Amino acid sequence: MHPEQSAHPEQTFAFCGKVVVFIVSILTLLPNIRRVNFTSDLLKDMAALEDFQARFDSEVACANYLFAQKWPHGFICSRCSHTQSTRINTRRLPLYQCNHCHYQVSPIVGTIMESSSTDLRKWFTAMFLVSATESGINALKLSHLIQVTYKTAWLMLRKIRQSITQADDAAKLTGNVYIDNAKFGRPYTGFHYEADEYPVLVGVATDNRDQLDYIKMQIVPESQYDEFHVLSEGIESFCEKHIELDSIVTVTERKRMKRKDMKGYPIFKIARAWLKRTYHGLGQGHLQHYWNEFCWRFNTKLQNNPLFESMLRLCVTTSTTTYAKLLKKGELLA
């Protein structure tokens, strides 16, 4: 048998037989008022998932593609920078041994998948569902779909979203930038913040034709807003962290402009509806990762970049973290 062939083809990671059952189980949990649109998205996403799984139908296919993303210009040894290697196929994932210093490296080293025993196909599927689907995915759905524990599914998604957050933190708005003041929570009425509400600043950069170029959504820390307004230090903090210094910044005010005429608020409404539809019971401490997820997908589409490939490149260049480290940071399961 060729070393790259699966010894147990009957155990190939196949979801397709579970798709109908999965759809039915999800639909039974949905409120009728939201079922029509969500069903359309879900069916479309499941069809896309079936095509995706046909493309990456084995661990070998995933490993080969991962190699191409990790070393797009060919293998480079991290120890001595030599460019020639020998592939060793005696383990679950291949190792690449430098022909000069004999250092051996796995393609998952230095990525969010490092030290993970979860199959690459399951990782690829999780990345695909986060990056390229409209209906979204949470840990409970993912655990059923790829047949892992809830804890494993949560950690996988948390690592994926961490890579998105790091990329979002590194990118700054530039040019003509508009900042809109929005709020999330209940009851979405009135001009002051209720106990279950908090403000979200929506930053939009436009190009020289006044077309959307990039968007960010950031939760305002509690110390930076009062009952009615985001304080000036909240706006200044957003500008300092997320906008280039030479940008032209316009802060819109609801009292002087209708919501529909704001640059970023219509997109925020879409993000808010997606978040409420897909994720339930999230604490405020977790929500920033989900705003970042929406913005990353929106910006990637805006730039006409391939979603899954862009996601995989992020995950390949982001170092891994552990469940224990997240718990130390107070990252509880959600």
State residue 257's pLDDT score. 61
pLDDT at position 39: 54
Clarify whether residues 303 and 209 are in a common domain.
yes
Residue 209 class from Cβ within 10 Å (0-12 exposed, 13-18 middle, 19+ buried)?
exposed
CB-CB contact of 234 with 225 (8 Å): yes
The verdict on 89 and 175 lying in the same domain is: no
Query: What local confidence, expressed as pLDDT, does residue 223 receive?
Result: 84
In a domain, 246, yes or no: yes
Residue 59, domain member (yes or no): no
The reply to whether 174 and 288 lie within a common domain is yes
Q: Residue 161: CB partners within 8 Å, gap ≥ 6?
A: 130, 289, 290, 292, 293
Q: Is 214 helix (H, G, I), strand (E, B) or coil?
A: strand
pLDDT in tens, 106-159: 999 999 999 899 999 999 999 999 998 877 788 999 999 999 999 999 999 999
Confidence of residue 30 (pLDDT cuts 50, 70, 90): very low
Residue 17 pLDDT more than 50?
Answer: no
Whether residue 232 lies inside any domain: the answer is yes
Q: What is the pLDDT of residues 123-136, one digit of tens each?
A: 999 999 999 887 77
273, part of any domain:
yes
- Both 309 and 201 in a single domain? yes
Residue 231 resides in a domain: yes
Contact predicate 184/218, CB 8 Å: no
Question: 89: number of CA atoms within 13 Å, CB side?
Answer: 11
Confidence of residue 184 (pLDDT cuts 50, 70, 90): confident
Q: Say how many domains are in the chain.
A: 2
Mean pLDDT of 42-70: 88
Residue 83 belongs to what domain range?
71-105
**One domain, residues 176 and 269:** yes
Residue with the bigger pLDDT between 307 and 191: it is: 307
Domain identity same for 296 and 221? yes
Q: Is residue 147 part of a domain?
A: no
CA distance 169 to 295: 12
Instruction: Flag whether 100 is in a domain.
Output: yes
